[in-house]
Chains A and B, each alone.
Chain A
Amino acid sequence: MIPFTYVRPKDTADAVALGTREPASRFLGGGTNLVDLMKMGVEHPAHLIDVTRLPLAAIERTADGIRIGAMTRNTEVAAHPLVVGRYPLLSHALLSGASPQIRNMATTSGNLLQRTRCFYFYDPSYKECNKRVPGSGCAALNGYNRIHAILGASERCIATYPGDMAVALTALDARVIVQGAQPERTIPINTFYRLPGETPHIENDLKAGELITALEIPQPPANSRSQYIKVRDRNSFAFALVSVAAIVAFGENNRIAEARIALGGVAHKPWRVPAAEQALHGREANEDTFRETADAIVRGAKSYRYNGFKVELARRTIVRALLAASETN
């Protein structure tokens, strides 16, 4: 690692002031991704601003749901009674990710901001990566692209967002609370993440110096059940090839009143298709119906040399997750 300075700001305002003042700085959470990327030479901040001791680690009820402080650790969130009881989808997604050691370190905001596991992004010996070096090309496009995106990618970048927590949060319509030089603002998680387009190095809606302070999650729909299914190369401690967070709410005559389906491992951000969800309103929960939903979600998928399997895998995982969420009703 190249040398950098280290500071522990005394409060959020100090952290934001430092981050705004020093463009070459990074906020440090648990370090499970950032420190690794610094070792790899992908990230090379001149200054690290350690925000882990800021008083942002509470989990509390709000008028319409819960608020999770940005510095809560993944383990703590996954085990918190409010989360286990009211948001089992979130708990399960968190417990599906990484290892116990990493979950003990990782913060909520750091988890949100984890970067892609694209092999070519992670290894600077590859010259082509528009995410690392804008304009340099994309080595994955014609490389070993087995883990790469099938939805929403561009010719500039076919990397995927690798996390689990954000997939559940996307299904839960969570909001990201950020503090910058301007007053606090709230960003719906679905617009927080960006698609690669022409600028894959810009991954989210944060402005320079802005610090995530909390997440807010509204109550899930009434009479709803949920399911998180993660498919990966080994049974634990691996990133998703495809994951699905499904929430299904039932109304009169056991017809579907609301459905939300978010996919991980297939795009540059957790992926939802609102039209496919809306088409489930008033329908019966069964395999045929859910196959139609799955077809609608992956319609327009574009695969590359090694990741064609993901299209069918996504379809089947969607059906499985929706059936499982319905069975527990």
Chain B
Amino acid sequence: MGATAAALTISGITVEMAAAAVAATVHCSLTINGDLHDLDLEPRVTLLDLLRERLYLTGTKKGCDHGQCGACTVLINGTRVNSCLALAVTQDGNQITTIEGLAANGNLHPMQAAFIERDGFQCGFCTSGQICSAVAMLDEWKRGMPSAVTTHGAAADFSDAEIRERMAGNICRCGAYPNIVAAVRDVHQGSGAQ
């Protein structure tokens, strides 16, 4: 535990008041790629920094660190988020999946294989985020999530415009978009989702 200067109790709950320069740590349990981690965390640590700097899961990339590029995309309980904007302490009890957790039994996830097959990257920095995002995106599609492109209630077509809109949270500065769209489409068709 970090240094604690004082405690404040209101309605039965206790708040640890930090000394000016040192914040109290908070105990959290996170399951990351199937492994349970018990951690004492400073509240200001983002999920992204926890993954990279403390757990050495450096597959998740820090691009802009402001939620604008998507390179840090991970799955929380199966939902895609920007890990740079999520404070790690807020994830207590959650299941986190990173790019390192997608392969199973030594086999690449179909989305990883499709990105290789379609050459869906150049420098590779956005790729972990693109792949995590695309995996969750196909799941959202199967569950009938609307988008700004899909007309409500219409039997939507899995068009390139649809893929691009749904992947808009992931920027590729190399401009590998055509091949990323192709990779996502391959997995969609291969998975038989309609």
Question: Which residues of A line the B interface, CB within 8 A?
Answer: 1-7, 9-10, 13-14, 17-18, 21, 28, 30-32, 35-36, 38-39, 46-48, 50, 52, 75, 78-79, 84, 88, 91-92, 95-96, 98-102, 104-105, 235-237
Contacts of A2 in B (CB 8 A): 44
Contacts of B18 in A (CB 8 A): 3-5, 46
Contact at A236–B164, with CB atoms within 8 Å?
yes
Known: A3-B44, A6-B26. 18 other contacts (CB 8 A): A4-B23, A4-B43, A5-B15, A5-B23, A30-B85, A32-B67, A39-B65, A52-B90, A84-B152, A91-B146, A92-B148, A100-B166, A100-B168, A101-B70, A101-B81, A102-B82, A104-B81, A105-B81
Contacts of B13 in A (CB 8 A): 7, 9-10, 14
Cβ contact of A100, chosen from B23, B42, B90, B169, cutoff 8 A:
B169
Contact at B44–A50, with CB atoms within 8 Å?
no
CB distance from B140 to the nearest CB of A (A): 7
CB distance from B181 to the nearest CB of A (A): 14
Contacts of B65 in A (CB 8 A): 39
Contacts of B23 in A (CB 8 A): 3-6
Contacts of B113 in A (CB 8 A): none
Kindly state the interface size class of chain B when it binds its partner: 35 or more
Contact at A7–B147, with CB atoms within 8 Å?
no
Q: Number of contacts between A and B (CB, 8 Å)?
A: 128
Interface positions of B from 78 to 107, Cβ below 8 Å from A: 79-82, 85-87, 89-90
Cβ contact of B165, chosen from A21, A79, A105, A236, cutoff 8 A:
A236
Interface positions of B from 14 to 28, Cβ below 8 Å from A: 15-18, 20-24, 26
Contacts of B153 in A (CB 8 A): 84
Contact at B169–A3, with CB atoms within 8 Å?
no
Closest 10 CB pairs of A and B: A99-B169, A3-B23, A6-B43, A236-B168, A1-B44, A237-B168, A95-B148, A101-B169, A7-B15, A14-B11
CA gap between A79 and B147 in the complex, in Å: 9
Question: Which residues of B line the A interface, CB within 8 A?
Answer: 8, 10-13, 15-18, 20-24, 26, 42-44, 46, 65-67, 70, 73, 79-82, 85-87, 89-90, 133, 136-137, 140, 144-148, 152-153, 164-166, 168-170
Contact at A104–B79, with CB atoms within 8 Å?
yes
Contacts of A237 in B (CB 8 A): 168-169
Contact at B152–A100, with CB atoms within 8 Å?
no
CB distance from A230 to the nearest CB of B (A): 9
**Contact A35 B15, CB 8 Å, known A3-B23, A75-B145, A100-B133:** no
Question: Residue of A at shortest CB range from B148?
Answer: A95
Contact at B16–A35, with CB atoms within 8 Å?
no
Question: Residue of A at shortest CB range from B10?
Answer: A17
CA gap between A96 and B150 in the complex, in Å: 11
CB distance from A260 to the nearest CB of B (A): 20
Enumerate 6 A-B pairs (CB-CB under 8 Å) in ascending A order: A3-B22, A78-B146, A79-B144, A100-B168, A102-B67, A102-B85
Contact at B147–A95, with CB atoms within 8 Å?
yes
CA gap between A101 and B135 in the complex, in Å: 12
CA gap between A213 and B86 in the complex, in Å: 22
CA gap between A6 and B22 in the complex, in Å: 13
CA gap between A102 and B147 in the complex, in Å: 14
Question: Residue of B at shortest CB range from A122?
Answer: B66
Contact at B85–A32, with CB atoms within 8 Å?
yes
Contacts of B85 in A (CB 8 A): 30-32, 35-36, 102, 105
Question: Residue of A at shortest CB range from B166?
Answer: A100
Cβ contact of B44, chosen from A4, A17, A235, cutoff 8 A:
A4
Cβ contact of A105, chosen from B21, B86, B144, cutoff 8 A:
B86
CA gap between A315 and B153 in the complex, in Å: 30
Contact at B169–A6, with CB atoms within 8 Å?
no
Cβ contact of A5, chosen from B24, B81, B137, B165, cutoff 8 A:
B24
Contacts of A104 in B (CB 8 A): 79-81
Question: Residue of A at shortest CB range from B68?
Answer: A237
Cβ contact of A32, chosen from B43, B80, B82, cutoff 8 A:
B82
Contact at A6–B87, with CB atoms within 8 Å?
yes
CB distance from B125 to the nearest CB of A (A): 17
Contacts of A105 in B (CB 8 A): 81-82, 85-86
CA gap between A95 and B165 in the complex, in Å: 10
